[in-house]
Amino acid sequence: MRQPGFTASGLLIIAILVLGGIVGAAPAAAWQDASPAAGTPAVIEIQPTAAPAPTVPAATPAAPAETDVVTLVLWYQNATNQDIIELYPLATDAGFVARPQQGAAAVGTVDFPVEGIPTVVVGNTTFETYPRPDGVVERWTWLDDFEGARPATLVMQLSGVDGTYQNYFGTATFVSRDEGGAGGVVTLALRPPSPAAVNEAGAAEPAAAGAAADTPVADVAAAGAVQPDATVEPGTEILDEPAVEGEAPVTEGEAPPEPAA
């Protein structure tokens, strides 16, 4: 009698089924582990991003306007040994605070005489002030319009009479910091003379020199001229009138003939 048992083909089928069950169980378990539990959804945090800073283009400085006006900026302060104002080269620190250049010598003066007009000397040029149309030379602007209060400004019109800035004209502005001779900054804004004025000034000098050279000759000619007779008074000398053609001359004591009809 045959004993029941498994054949070789049956054993092979069983082995395939067992292996299939083991391999299929692992992915299912892994999928369950990776899936979130029901009722607890995953929270995704979104990090805020900063907005990019706007790009500001670099400022390009504008080219200075062309002008023929010359600007002189100096420091002024009272002299220690005389009643006059001295001018010094100007310097500024990192904070743009003005002061006299350290160790520099005076380059000019300003004089406010008791009588006469104020004068400014810078280098080899003397500037003379002149009044405005209203006759005022010194024009002050006081703090709060209270006379004598500082800071204050003084503006005067002036023109160069010689030196480098001869015939230049413009304004001198004094910025007075405080009372007691504290000094301050003075700015001279000078416009050069027109070409016509320069030509006239150049022509005037030779003409003046020629006139001076001709003066002795003129004096000699004037000395040789015929002088009038000082013994005859104007209007007292009677001159004989010339005879008219066709008429007989009239002698003294005779009546003139009647004119013909």
Q: Kindly report, residue by residue over 141-164, the tens digit of the pLDDT.
A: 999 999 999 999 999 999 999 999
Residue 21: per-residue pLDDT = 60
Instruction: Please name the residue that has the structure tokens 């015939």.
Output: 167
Residue 19: per-residue pLDDT = 67
User: Is the bond into 259 cis (omega within 30 degrees of 0)?
Assistant: no
Cβ pair 205, 166 in contact under 8 A: no
Cβ pair 186, 162 in contact under 8 A: no
Residue 53: per-residue pLDDT = 74
Label residue 114 exposed, middle or buried (CB < 10 Å: 0-12, 13-18, 19+). exposed
- Coil vs helix vs strand at 169: strand
- Coil vs helix vs strand at 210: helix
| Distance in Å from the first CA to the final CA of the chain | 214
CA 117 to chain centre: 25
Q: What is the rounded distance in angstroms from the CA atom of residue 113 to the CA atom of residue 154?
A: 16
Q: What is the rounded distance in angstroms from the CA atom of residue 261 to the CA atom of residue 258?
A: 9
Q: What is the rounded distance in angstroms from the CA atom of residue 120 to the CA atom of residue 172?
A: 9
The tokens describing 42, both together, are 């995953």
> For 123, what's the count of Cα atoms within 13 Å in the CB-facing half-sphere?
12
Q: What is the pLDDT along the chain (261 residues), one digit of tens a residue?
A: 444 455 556 666 666 766 666 555 555 555 555 555 555 566 666 776 777 777 777 778 888 888 999 999 999 999 988 899 999 999 999 999 999 999 999 999 999 999 999 999 999 999 999 999 999 999 999 999 999 999 999 999 999 999 999 999 999 999 999 988 889 999 999 999 987 666 666 665 665 555 555 555 445 444 444 444 444 444 444 445 455 454 555 455 555 455 444
- Coil vs helix vs strand at 248: coil
Full-model pTM = 0.56
Query: Hey, what's the torsion of the CAs at 72, 73, 74, 76, to 10 degrees?
Result: 110
